[in-house]
Amino acid sequence: MPSKFRPLFNHSGLPKRFTFPFDYEPHPLAQQAAKEVMKDLRNLTSGIHNFQDIGKMFGVLVAYDQVGNLGYLAAFSGKLQCGNYYSYFVPPVFDMLDEEGFYRKGEGQLNQLNEQIRALENDPELRCLKTHYNRSLQDLEFELDEAKANYSTRKTVRKAMRKELAHEERVFELAAVKVAHEKESHYQQYVIKKIKGEIKDLQAQRTNALLPYQKHLKALKEQRKAKSNQLQQQLFEQYNFLNAKGETKNVLDLFGGEVPPAGTGECAAPKLLQFAYQHNFQPIAMAEFWWGNSPKKEIRKHWEFYPACKRKCEPVLGFMLQGLDVDEDPRANIKVKEALETIYEDDDLLVLNKPTEMLSAPGKIAVPNVLDLVKTNYPTATGPLLVHRLDQSTSGIIVIAKDKVTHSALQRQFEERTVKKRYEAQLDGELSTKSGKIELPLRVDLDNRPRQLVDEVHGRPAETYYQVMEVKDGKTRIHFFPVTGRTHQLRVHAAHQDGLNTPILGDDLYGKRADRLHLHAAQLTIVHPKLGEEITFKCDPPF
C-alpha cells in the first residue's frame, strides 16, 4: 500500500456513482476525508507555504486500494512554496521542478538567452550610438521646422508686398520685387531640401551603425523562441493522462492540437486520478476545497468546497473519468416552471417575472427560456426582443420589447444608465454596515467561465449601491441598486473580500448552494418610449 493512501473508518455508506467534478455536493465520505486532511493541514502547513499570503486548492479522492481497503488520497493544485513533493500528498503528473530534469535545464538555457538579450539591449556603446543619432536627428528636425516656418512667414510677407505694389500701380518696382522674391523663395526651398537630405543621410547612417546589433538581437530572440517552443513541446509530451479503462491520451490530443492553458494537469483532481490509476485503485468519490486566504482577484473561502476549473480541467477530466460510473451533470436536469407571470403589458412592451434557473435567451442546451416562450405566444410580432438579461439563477423583472423601435429606445436607456433598478437579496451572514457603495471592476475568468474576477487592470468598471433592510438569524436582507450591469456583478460585489465579504444565500459559484439563489430583480423604472412618462414595475421576491 503506497504511503500516500490513508484508511477511512466508520463511514456511513458509499455513493452510487463517482462525483461529477464541475457541479457537486461533496459526498459524506469525501467530506470525511477532507476534514481529516484539514485537521492535518494545521500541522503540515508550517514552513511549506505561506497560506496567510495566498491559499491553495486541495483535493481528496476516496478509493479502494488493490486489496479492497477503503481510504483516501490527498493532493494540492499547482505547487506549494517549497516544491512539488511532500510525503502526505500524491506527486505531480510531471515534475517540472526536478533540478536534473530537462525542463529545469531548458529554463536555465532560456534564462541565459534572456540575460544575453538584456545585456545587448543595455549595451553602453549601443545606447551611446542611439543617443548620438537621436540628438543629431532632433537638431536637424528643429532646423527643418524653423526653415519651414520662415518660408511660410516670408511667403505671406512677399504676397502682401506684391499686392500693395500692384494696387498702387508701381509697375517697375513690382517687376523688380517679383524677381527678388522668386530668388528668395528658391533659396529657402533649397535650404529645406538640403536639411531633408541631411536627415535622410543621417537616418541611413543610424541604420547602418545599428544593423550589427539588431542582427545579433534578432538572432538571439529567434533562438529563444525556438528553444521555448521546443521546451513547451517536450513538456506537453510528458503529460499523458490515464483513464479508468486503462487508456492513455496526451494533453495535446485532449485539446484538439491547440496549446493547452498554462497549468493544465497541475490541478488536484488530475493528480489524484492519475495516481489512483497508476496504482490500480478504484475511485469512489472526490472533492476539492480551499485552504488559506483568498487571492485578490477571486472569491475563495477558507475550508469551503469548490468544483474543478473548466478551461484547464474539463478536457482532461472528461477523458480521465471515462470508464467510471459518474453522476449526471445536475445543471442539465434543472427543473423550472415554464409559466411566466405577466407584470405589465401594452402594445409596445411586455414585463415578466422570470423564474429562478430559467435562461433569459437560448443557450447551448435546448431548455425552456424566456425568449422562446414569449415568441411562442407572439408568433406574428416583429419582436419580441430582449431589452436586457438576468442571470440564469436570478429571478424577477425582465423587459421584452414587442417591436424594434421600442427595443432600440429601451436599450438606449439601459446603455445611458437612466434605468433605475432595485434588487432584493438575502446574504449568507450578518452585515455590520447599513449602506454604502461598492466599486470593483470585473472581467470573466477565462479558465472558469462563467465565473467573474475582480481585476483592477483589465476589468470593466462595476458600481453598486446597497441598503441593509434587516439582519436576523445569521442572515441579512438587503437592497442592491446597481449602476452598471456587469455579469454576476451583485454576486461578486456581495461575496468578494473587498466588497461585502458575505455571499448571497444559495450562490453556488461564489458561496454555498441552497434551495435557490436568493437574488431577485424586484423593481425597475423606465421612461415609456411611446408615452414619454416614467413608469415603475414591482415584483416581490419569493423568499
Question: Which residues are catalytic, by number?
Answer: 391
Torsion, Cα 327 356 342 464, to 10 degrees, reads -150
Length of the chain: 543
DSSP annotation of 80 = B
Strand pairing category for 519-527 and 420-427: antiparallel
Q: What is the pLDDT along the chain (543 residues), one digit of tens a residue?
A: 457 999 998 877 899 999 999 999 999 999 999 999 999 888 765 667 778 888 999 999 999 999 999 999 999 999 887 677 788 899 999 988 788 889 989 999 999 999 999 999 999 999 999 999 999 999 999 999 999 999 999 999 999 999 988 888 888 889 999 999 999 999 999 999 999 999 999 999 999 999 999 999 999 999 999 999 999 999 999 999 999 999 999 999 999 988 999 899 999 999 999 999 999 999 999 999 999 999 999 999 999 999 999 999 999 999 999 999 999 988 776 666 667 899 999 999 999 999 999 999 987 777 789 999 898 887 766 767 899 999 999 999 999 999 999 999 999 999 999 999 999 999 999 999 999 999 999 999 988 889 999 999 999 999 999 999 999 999 999 999 999 999 999 999 999 999 999 999 999 999 999 999 999 999 999 999 999 999 999 999 999
Q: Hey, what's the torsion of the CAs at 19, 25, 30, 33, to 10 degrees?
A: 150
C-alpha span between 482 and 419 (Å, rounded): 10
Architecture of domain 334-538: 2-Layer Sandwich (3.30)
447 Cβ neighbours under 8 A, 6+ residues apart: 261, 309, 310, 311, 312
496 CB contacts (<8 Å, ≥6 apart)? 299, 440, 454, 510
Distance from C-alpha of 485 to C-alpha of 462, rounded to nearest angstrom: 7
What are the boundaries of each domain within the chain? 6-94+239-331, 119-234, 334-538
Answer yes or no: pTM beyond 0.85.
no
